[in-house]
Chains A and B, each alone.
Chain A
C-alpha cells in the first residue's frame, strides 16, 4: 500500500480499530473457535479427524481444565500447575506441588504446541494427548482423584450435562468425551507468533546480535532443539547428573525414558523440550534444577556429565559438552529471547478469566 493512501485512511483505520476492540471486549466468548495450522509449521501429529475442535467442545474443555472438581478435595485444577501466563507451566516451582502440597516427580512442562507431539510427558510414556489427563487426575501427588468420581461429579451438574450435549450431541458424560474435550482445549494452545516466527515469515527483523545467536544456535543446539517446534521430539540424555527422587514413596532416581521402554540404552533420556517462551517457563529441565538460562548455558559449556547414554552430539572431538564463550552465550540468550510469544501467554481465549 502507498503511504499517501495510508495517511488518508488513518482516521478510518483508527476508528475501525476502536470498533474492533470494543467488539472484542463484548464478544470474547462468541468468536468461533477453530484450530488453525500456522503456515510455517509442519502438519500436526494429532488426528483432528477423530476429534475436531469445535467452539462448544473447546468451551467445555476450557471449563474442565480450570475446574478444581477434577481433584479429590476440589482444590486443584489442571490450570493450577499449567498456568497460562507462565506458558502453561508451574512458574517458580522446580517440581510442581499437587494435592496436600505434595511434590510431583517432575517439573511441569508447558501445555503448548502439543498438536505436533506424538508422545506426552518427559518420558513420552503417554501415546495420545487425550489419554494424558488421566495421569494427573489419578496420581496421588497430583489430583489424587478417581476418574469415575470426576465423571460422577460432572454428571451431577446440569450445566455440564448441557455443555456435553452442545459439544457431543447428547448429555452423556463418558470417559472418551471428557478426554476429548480436554484435548480440544489443549490443542488450541498454539504458540506461533513470537518475533522469530514473524521473522521467518518476513514480517519482522532480527538485530545483528540476535542473528549471530541464531547462527550459533543452528550450529550447536538445533540438532536436538530442531525446526519451528524447537524439538525433534526425540529422547536424549543431555548430561544432567541423575538426582535422587522419591517415586511412589521410595527413594529412587528418575530414569526417564527407561521407565517406559526398560531398555538400558534409554536410561536418563528425556523428551527434548521446546525452547519457546523460556521467559515464562523457568525453572528449566525435567526436574527444574536450573533457575536461569545462564545456568543452562553453563551446563552445556562445563557441566555435562559423561555417561553411557550421553548423547553423542554432546561428546564430540574428545570433548564433553558444547563449548560456549561469553560472547556466544550473550548472542544465544538474545536469540532465545526472540522465541517468547507474548500473544500466546496473554491469549484471552485460553486464560481462565
Chain B
C-alpha cells in the first residue's frame, strides 16, 4: 500500500514536471542561474590540508599545505549546440578548497534553455594575462586575491599552486612545491599550461527563472600525480616554470569530473 502511494507520488511528480516543461516552452522564458561546485578529494577521501594521504599507484604519501587554482572562460553549451559565454570580466575564478566562499561559482543571468555541457579552462588565457592591469577583474589583481598566484619576474598567473610535505621529497623540510603556469609566451613561444576541460552532463539540464541547477564537480587531487604522466614526488619534488610543467598540466586537466547534478 505504502509502495503504491510512493509510486503514485512519483507519477504525479513526473506528470507535473512534464506539464511545467510544456508551459515553459510556451511562456517567454526568463534568465536563470546555475551553480558550479568544486568538491575536493584525494581518491575517495575528502581533501584536507595538514592531513596525510597515500597515493596507491606510487605508494608515496603526502600532506598538502596549500592548494589553489584558477579556472576561467566558462561557456555553457545548449542542446542545440549554441553557447553562452560568461561576460569576460566575470569569467575568472580562484578556487581554494579551504575557503568555503571560493569553491562555488554562480552563473547569474544565464539565458533560459536546455544545457548539455560546460567547458572551461584551468588557468588564465593569454589575452587576459597580458591585459593592462587596470582592465583586469579584481580576482586577478596582483595586489589582491591573485597576490601569491602571480609571477612578477615573468608576469603571468600561477594557474595551479600545490604545496605540501612528503617523506619522499629530498628537498629540505621534505617539501614539495608545484607552481604551474605559463600561457604560451608573450612574443616568443614558451610553455603553455592552459588546459581546457569539457564536461558533458549526459542529459539536458533546464535552466530558467525557476530552475537553478547545481553541478557538483569532483576534483580528484590524486589525478595531479596519476595522469598521462606519473608524477613522483621523489623524482620531481619542485616543479615551477619549466618544461615538465606541461606534463603536470595534462594531469590536472583530468582532475575535474562531474559527480552529479541537482536539478533545482
A166-195 vs B, CB cutoff 8 Å, 1 = contact: the mask equals: 000000001111111000000000000000
B228 within 8 A of partner (CB): no
Tell me the smallest distance from the CB of A42 to a CB of chain B, in Å: 18
Chain A residues within 8 Å of B28, by CB: none
> Are A261 and B185 within 8 A (Cβ)?
yes
Q: Looking at the complex, which of A14-22, A120-128, A198-206, A214-222 is the stretch in contact with chain B?
A: A120-128
> Are A135 and B143 within 8 A (Cβ)?
no
Tell me the smallest distance from the CB of B245 to a CB of chain A, in Å: 9
Tell me the A125-151 residues at the B interface (CB within 8 Å).
Answer: 125-128, 130-131, 134-135, 137-139, 146-148, 150-151
A12 within 8 A of partner (CB): no
B191 within 8 A of partner (CB): yes
Chain B residues within 8 Å of A179, by CB: 133
> Are B143 and A175 within 8 A (Cβ)?
yes
Complex: A266 Cα to B189 Cα, angstroms: 11
> Are B152 and A259 within 8 A (Cβ)?
no
> Are B187 and A127 within 8 A (Cβ)?
yes
B223-245 vs A, CB cutoff 8 Å, 1 = contact: the mask equals: 00000000000000000011100
> Are B190 and A126 within 8 A (Cβ)?
no
B147 within 8 A of partner (CB): yes
Complex: A175 Cα to B152 Cα, angstroms: 13
B202 within 8 A of partner (CB): no
Q: Known contacts A134-B142, A146-B147; is A261 also within 8 Å of B152 by CB? A: no
A244 within 8 A of partner (CB): no
User: Of B144, B150, B186, B190, which is within 8 A of A262 by CB?
Assistant: B190
A50 within 8 A of partner (CB): yes
B134 within 8 A of partner (CB): yes
Q: Known contacts A175-B133, A176-B132; is A259 also within 8 Å of B154 by CB? A: yes
Complex: A180 Cα to B147 Cα, angstroms: 18
Point out which of A50, A121, A148 has the most chain B C-beta atoms below 10 A from its C-beta. Answer: A148
A252-272 vs B, CB cutoff 8 Å, 1 = contact: the mask equals: 000000011111001000000
Chain A residues within 8 Å of B133, by CB: 130-131, 175-176, 179
User: Of B150, B155, B242, which is within 8 A of A126 by CB?
Assistant: B155
Complex: A176 Cα to B186 Cα, angstroms: 20
Tell me the A93-131 residues at the B interface (CB within 8 Å).
Answer: 118-119, 121, 125-128, 130-131
Q: Known contacts A121-B153, A175-B133, A176-B134; is A127 also within 8 Å of B143 by CB? A: no
CB nearest to B132 among chain A residues: A50
Q: Known contacts A131-B152, A135-B153, A176-B132; is A260 also within 8 Å of B188 by CB? A: yes
Chain A residues within 8 Å of B130, by CB: 127
B130-146 vs A, CB cutoff 8 Å, 1 = contact: the mask equals: 10111000000111100
Complex: A137 Cα to B142 Cα, angstroms: 12
> Are A134 and B188 within 8 A (Cβ)?
no
> Are A261 and B190 within 8 A (Cβ)?
yes
> Are B242 and A262 within 8 A (Cβ)?
yes
Chain A residues within 8 Å of B155, by CB: 125-128, 131, 134
19 pairs, CB–CB < 8 Å, chain A vs chain B: A50-B132, A119-B186, A119-B187, A121-B153, A125-B153, A127-B186, A131-B133, A134-B142, A134-B150, A134-B155, A146-B143, A176-B132, A178-B143, A260-B190, A261-B188, A262-B190, A262-B191, A262-B241, A263-B190
Which residues of B come within 8 Å of A, CB atoms? Answer: 130, 132-134, 141-144, 147, 150, 152-155, 185-191, 241-243
